[in-house]
Amino acid sequence: MSDNDDGTDLLVLLPTDRDHENMGKVDAPYNLHWFEDEDFDYPQPGSDFDMVEYTERASEYVEQADIEGVLFSHDVANLVAGALVDRHDLPGPELEPVFLADHKYYSRMHQPNVPWFDYIDLETDEWGDEPRFPAYIKPPFLTMTLLQYRVEDREEYERAMETVRKELPKYTEPFMDFFDTYVDTERYPLATRDMMLVEEPLEDWTQHCVEGWVDSDGELHVWAISDHNYYDDGSLAIDNYSTPSTLPTEAQEELIDIAREAIVQHGFEESFWNVEIFRLADRHVITEVNGRTASVWEPLYEGAFDTSVYEGIMHLHADNPEQTQAVAPDWEPGSDYETMGTQFHVITFGEGRADEFLDFEYARSVPDTDVEIFVDPEDEIEQTRSSGFWLARFHLFGEDYQEMLDRADEIRTNMLEQPELSPEPERYT
């Protein structure tokens, strides 16, 4: 627990290292209670984590410690937060909209601008409708593109499903128990079904994310728009995220309108949110709705806007939305910017020991950026998604986007032990 006895008491649910780092440095009158669980793994919860037990223990703590708000930054903690908001009337989103956003099949049913979508019952191997290919398949409530595949035909589908059937049970039990306990399964019967979402694979798109928050009066505020910049090699691998967006003003305003409609349809209140949108030549398609911030972009907001989304979250869930507005970026939709933040990824499509793919010594010594390494040298890398395996990420800031791309290529060239197994640096820009 942080030392601020006169401050508002806030409970940090399933805190990550990123939460500790960024909430811990905010100078605000809040007393943070770090509610850990030794069995929880981030970003996927792990089969030993008991999500119901944790929720009930957190609920008891809310009453014992007179907790006045809950803080969360990822898709497991926000579900727990929703249950606590419902039970204790705390500031924040209720469980139903959080569930709708986290369960991508039901989210598709509550949003505009959807592709065609269906589900696959893993107990029977049957689709809700008739199978059709090509298709994009993904678990309904896991993050970081885990077990997501684009499949062109039945043969690729069966090959991907072999991995899904083997790997998916490692992650789903905590969610299933939680949904069975707290979600209205008569209204949402697929909540406790072993299933995969299947949907239309899209072509020739660019991807963008509108992030914002909604106050206690239901008014929606936009924080920023970011671009997802992919390699132009068909691999679905993300080269970098960049903030602010460089789309023209009119295009950004159209994205904002679509995002606002999706958030209203999901029913969010008193929460940060973001909506990821594919922009095609003839239409827009929402790929994901989230009832939380993209906390991984905190360095981008700090470097590009000199502000902290974590501080905004803390104010909002302490029921101080005017302070959230006070720290919002000085930003308007448009292609002009003084400083751009870019978050780059180091990706491989190989399999084997991590030190066969990443030069750890170099990664730890890059002078002009922070490098976050996701693996240890002896870790075994397996390919469990169409977008490759993230070895590391780093950030660059500046006025010249192309200059940052060139520097990122140099850094990654030196990091990669087998660059031929990584995407080629030809990008959408």
Give the DSSP per-residue string, 281-308.
Answer: SS-EEEEEEESS--GGGHHHHHHHHS--
The pLDDT value recorded for residue 427 is 39
Whole-model pTM? 0.93
Smallest CA-to-CA distance from 30 within 64, 77, 86, 71 is with 71
Give CA–CA dist 287/275, Å, rounded.
Answer: 8
| 169: preceding bond cis by omega (within 30 degrees) | no
Q: What is the pLDDT of residues 49-89, one digit of tens each?
A: 999 999 999 999 999 999 999 999 999 999 999 999 999 99
pLDDT at 2 over 90: no
Label residues 26-52 b or e (16+ Cβ within 10 Å = b).
bebebbbbbbebeebebebbeeebbbb
Residues 58, 84: contact at Cβ < 8 Å?
A: yes
The pLDDT value recorded for residue 61 is 98
Q: What is the pLDDT of residues 370-422, one digit of tens each?
A: 999 999 999 999 999 889 999 999 999 999 999 999 999 999 999 999 999 99
The bridge status of strand 8-13 relative to strand 69-71 is parallel
pLDDT at 304 over 90: yes
Give CA–CA dist 354/367, Å, rounded.
Answer: 22
The CB density around residue 161, as the number of other CB atoms within 10 Å, is: 19
Indicate the pLDDT class of residue 6, thresholds 50, 70 and 90: low
Residues 68, 31: contact at Cβ < 8 Å?
A: no
The pLDDT value recorded for residue 179 is 98
The CB density around residue 376, as the number of other CB atoms within 10 Å, is: 10
The pLDDT value recorded for residue 144 is 81
Give CA–CA dist 351/381, Å, rounded.
Answer: 5
Smallest CA-to-CA distance from 381 within 411, 334, 348 is with 348
Residues 175, 142: contact at Cβ < 8 Å?
A: no
Collapsed DSSP state (helix, strand, coil) of residue 85: helix
The pLDDT value recorded for residue 291 is 94
Task: Provide mean pLDDT across the span 264-277.
Answer: 95
What are the percentages of helix, strand and coil residues in the chain, rounded to 5?
35, 25, 40
Q: Which residues contact 111 (CB under 8 A, 6 or more apart)?
A: 262, 265, 266, 286, 289
Q: Measure CA of the first residue to CA of the last residue in the chain; give whole Å.
A: 44
The pLDDT value recorded for residue 429 is 33
Residues of the chain with pLDDT > 70, as a percent, come to 97
Report the 3 state secondary structure along 158-222: HHHHHHHHHHCHHHHHHHHHHHHHHCCCCCCHHHHCCEEEEECCCCCCEEEEEEEEECCCCCEEE
Identity of residue 271: S
Sign of CA dihedral 140, 115, 242, 375: positive
Residues 370, 394: contact at Cβ < 8 Å?
A: yes
Question: Which whole-number Å values give the CA distances from 381 to 308, 347, 355, 384, 388, in the listed order?
Answer: 33, 11, 10, 9, 10
Smallest CA-to-CA distance from 159 within 185, 133, 188, 186 is with 133
Give CA–CA dist 369/385, Å, rounded.
Answer: 28
Tokens of 270: 């008193």
Q: Which residues contact 163 (CB under 8 A, 6 or more apart)?
A: 147, 384
- For residue 118, the surrounding DSSP H or E stretch is strand 117-121
- For residue 347, the surrounding DSSP H or E stretch is strand 340-348
The CB density around residue 413, as the number of other CB atoms within 10 Å, is: 11
Q: Which residues contact 195 (CB under 8 A, 6 or more apart)?
A: 105, 119, 120, 121, 122, 140
Q: What is the pLDDT of residues 182-229, one digit of tens each?
A: 999 999 999 999 999 999 999 889 999 999 999 989 999 999 999 999
